[in-house]
Structure 1
Amino acid sequence: MPSALPDGDPAPADGLLPESALATLGTTPLSFYVHVPFCRVRCGYCDFNTYTIPELGLHGASIDTYADAALAELDLAATVLGSGAPAVSTVFVGGGTPTMLRSADLVKVVSGIRERFGLTDDAEVTTEANPDSVTPGSLDELAAGGFTRVSLGMQSAVPHVLRTLERTHDPANVARAVAATKAAGMQVSVDLIYGTPGESVGDWRRSLEAAIALEPDHISAYALVVEEGTKLAAQVRRGDVAAPDDDDEADKYELADELLTAAGFGWYEVSNWARSRAAWCRHNVAYWTGGNWWGIGPGAHSHVGGVRWWNVKHPNAYAARLASGASPAHARETLDEGQRYDERVLLGSRIVDGLPVEDLGARGRTAVAGLVADGLVEGVAAVRDRRLVLTRRGRLLADTVVHRLLAS
C-alpha cells in the first residue's frame, strides 16, 4: 500500500501561504508536478500513491473527471501565488501511469497551466508512461499539445526480472514506444531498476545494453528499495525472495556507469545519465537546486519559499476537498535555516555541478580534505574549482559523504 503521509502543522483551508514564502517568488524558477494516481495493476515493489480503478469505486475521482479536479487545484494555485508568479519553466506529469488518461486530458492540464501562469519559451514538459500505454497517435497528440519529453518505464529487458517486479509490459514494446516518441519530435528517457531478487549481473548488463541500443536521450537507473507495506516487503519477510544485496547493487551501479559512459552518456546526478546537458531532466534539477514547485494531485508535495506542504492521499478525498472549495492540502511545514542548509547539502552534493565549498559551514569545509583523501570527492574540483563533486566511489557512498559534511 502507499506509504503514510508525514506529520506536519495544520494546513489552512484556503491554502494561503505566508508573505515570507512569496517574497522571492518572482526571482526563482517555478515548476509544476502533476500526480496521476491511476494504475492498471499495482507492482509489488511500489509504495507510490497509486490506485487501481476497482479500488476507487464509482464516486469521487475517476479517470474521466481527473483533469477537471487538477484544473480546480490550478485555480487555487493561481489565487495563492498571485500575479507575482513567474512563467512556468518545467512541468512533470508522474504517477501512477499518467498515460492511462486520454492524451487530450493530459494536454488539457498543461493548457491549464499555460493559461493561468504562462510557460517559458523553452519550457520542459514531461510525462511518464508505460511502454504499453502509448501509441504513435497518442504521442503525436501529446507533442502537439506542448509536451517535449516522455519518460518510459522500461525497468528491465529480462522477462523473469519483469515478472518478479510484476511489470506487465511486453519488452518489445519499449523499442516501439521509444521510436514513436522520437518520431513525434520529443526527447525520450528510459528508467531502469537494478537489484531485483534473482537478477544476475549478466541480466543487468543485458538490460543496460538494450537500453543503450534504443539510443534515448536520457537513462535513469535506480537501485531497488524494499519499502515497508509493499507486497515485495512481505515476500522478503517470509523468505519467499531474497532481499537486495548492497554489494550486488554496488557492482551493478559501477557496471551501469562504465557502460553508459562508454556509450556517450554522462552522469549529472547519482542515478541519472544524459547524452548532453540539454538532455538533463530540468524538472528534477529544480528539485535538487531548491526551486519552487507546486504539486497537483492526491498526495502530491509542494515547496514555495521554504514552505512545504502535501495533499490528502486518497483521490476521492482530494476531489471532495476541491469540490467544496477547500484546499486539498493535508499538512505543511516551514523549514528553518538549519533544515534548508541540510537539504542544500544533501541534494546539491548529488549533482555533477557540485556544491560550492563556500556554501558549506565550517565543519563541512573542514571535512572536505578527508573526503578527498578517501577518494569520495574529486580533488581537482575541490581545490581548483572550489566545488564538491563526488567520485564514482563517492556516488556509491553519497549518504556517508553527506553525514560527514553535516556531522556536528
Structure 2
Amino acid sequence: METGPRTYLDHNATAPVRPEVAEAVARALLDLPGNASSIHREGQAARAAVETARARIAALAGTAPGSVVFTSGGTEAANAALSGGLRRRDGPAPTRLIVGATEHPCVLAGHRFAPEATDLIPVDRRGVIDLAWLEARLGALAGEGVLLSVQAANNETGVVQPLDAVVALARRHGGALVHSDAVQAAGRLPLEAATSGLDALSLSAHKFAGPKGVGALVLAPGLTLDPVFHRGGGQEARLRGGTENVAGLVGAGVAAEIAGRAQAEEARRLAGLRDALEAGIRARAPDAVVFGEGAERLPNTACFAVPGLEAATALIALDLDGVAVSSGSACASGKVGRSTVLAAMGVPAALAAGALRVSLGWNSRPSDVDRFLAVFDRLISSLYKRRERAA
C-alpha cells in the first residue's frame, strides 16, 4: 500500500511542468492582461510575449519563427496537417495519404482522406517502418499527389523512425510532402537533425514540461494549408483564428528553451536510468520482453511485458503502491486495451495485453527506478508463485 510521496513515471503521457514554467505562466496571467491583437500598450506587451514564445519554440524545432503556427496541442496540429489542405503554395493539395502503421491515433484516425486513398506502411518486429515497401508504393503512385506522415518517435515503445530516409524517398519519387508527429521527440532528440527536410511537423508543449493545451504546427517555407477555423479572427497568419492563449504560450516558450538547452545532457542521464530499469526488470523476470529492442529508441522510454502479467492488474498494484506508469498511449479514454502499435509489430495478443510503459523525465531520479523495481519485484514474485502452484 502507498506510503510517502508518489513516483511519477509517465512522462510520455504528460511531463510535469518545471517550476520555471509554472512561475512564467503565473507572471503572464498577472502581468499581461491585454489581447495580443489589440494595438494599445497592453496588447503590444501580450503580442511581444507571444512572439518571444514563437521564437523559442522555433529554436527547439530548428526553424524560423515565421514557420510556427500555434495550436491547442499535437492532435490539432496533426489533424490540420492531414486535413487534405497542406500543399505547396504553387501546387495542388495531395490526393493520397501514406502513414506509418504504428502512428498515434491523431494521425491514424485524425486525417480526412478516404480509406481507398490511404495506405499504411508496415513495420518490422522492432517497430521500424519498411522503407523498401514505402519506396515501392511511392513508385506505384508516380504522378499522384502524395502526403506522407511518419512519426519521429513512437509514444508507446519510443522507437525512432528513419525520417531522413523517408524524406529522401519522398524527394526521389515525385516530391511527396512529408509530415511528422514529433510530439515525443521534442526535447528528447536533437530535433533539427531528426526532422531535416520535413514539410510539416507537430509539437505539443506538455510533452516537454510545458503547459497542457498548447501545441504548434511547423511548416517549411513555401508550404501552406487551409485555415483550421473558417470563421473567426486572422490570428496565426490567418491559419488559426482565435485569441491566443498568451500565458500558456509563454510557459511553452520557457519549457522549449530549457528543453533545448538541456537535451543532450538529459538524453545521456535518462538513457542511463532506462538501462538500469530494464536491467532490473530482466534480473527479476528473465522472460520479460522489451518492445522495440534492437532499434534506436528514445532515451527515456521502456515498454515491456512479462508473460502472464496482465497490464490492468499491474497498473492497479503499482498505483496503489504510489507508482504511476502506463500501458501505452494516454489518448484512448483512459482504457487498457490492445495496443495497435504492438499489433502492427506482430506481438501476440496475450503478450501485448501485459505491456507496460515506463517513461522517465526531467524530475526522474535513481530512487524512482529503485521504487518501481521494488514494487515490480513483489508483482513478479506473486506471479512466479502462482506458476509454481499451478505446476
| TM-score (normalizing by structure 1) | 0.30
Q: Higher strand proportion, which one?
A: 1
Tell me: higher relative CO, structure 1 or 2? Use CA pairs within 8 A at least 6 residues apart. 2
| TM-score (normalizing by structure 2) | 0.30
